[in-house]
Structure 1
């Protein structure tokens, strides 16, 4: 069965693509995060998951720390973080950073490392 999920179920702000959704409730083995970081800096602290995470960079540029690597990623690029790998990212600026993050699990499982 197909599901249509309205924006008010996942968006933090009605005018922004910003929010998150655990899709396991709808039969999907995935979670989505819609990030919008308007200015330089920001982003999540160092953490890891027992599953892979995929970052689709839709706008701007970000500095991704993945294990012991630092990766500058730009609009149009995709960063894939393997399971159990420490990672974080921040907006390099000067404009907004917008990403869609796909977690390969029906609910969020996060171990915060800092």
Structure 2
């Protein structure tokens, strides 16, 4: 499917160079695989990698002053976003809106792997439990 959402001649490059960073070591241990703040890449989003093989395990309840988008790349997760509970599987995304406390856990069986996009050039978080 061909797309033409805008006229490329209407956008002026902003002079930022292309950038590259290592998000995580595939052989690394532990659930928090790595993070790259947008500020280090000259961008507007911060990217985190999270993975665990333990059913029931996941990040603690926390909140951000910006939106967070979760991409489930492997396994199944249960997300708690405010008063809403969402179950998501590999290939699905979940939005945690700014100011709404959230957490998620591995539903199992097997590995849960997510890429978490913080809509901010810096990772800013307050843990609530």
CA RMSD of aligned residues (A): 1.5
Match of 2:81? 66
TM-score, reference length from structure 2: 0.80
Higher RCO by CA contacts (8 Å cutoff, separation 6 or greater): 1
- Deviation track 1:3-32 (CA, whole Å, cap 9, x = no partner) reads 122x3xx42x45259211112122111111
User: What is the total number of aligned residue pairs between the two structures?
Assistant: 110
Larger Rg: 2
Task: Compare the two structures and name the one with the higher strand fraction.
Answer: 1
Moved over 6 A (4+): none
The match for 1:56 is: 71
d(CA) in 2 for partners of 1:23 and 1:38? 28
Could you tell me the TM-score, scaled by structure 1's length?
Answer: 0.90
Q: Which runs of 5+ in 2 are unaligned?
A: 1-16
Which residue in 2 is equivalent to 1:24? 39
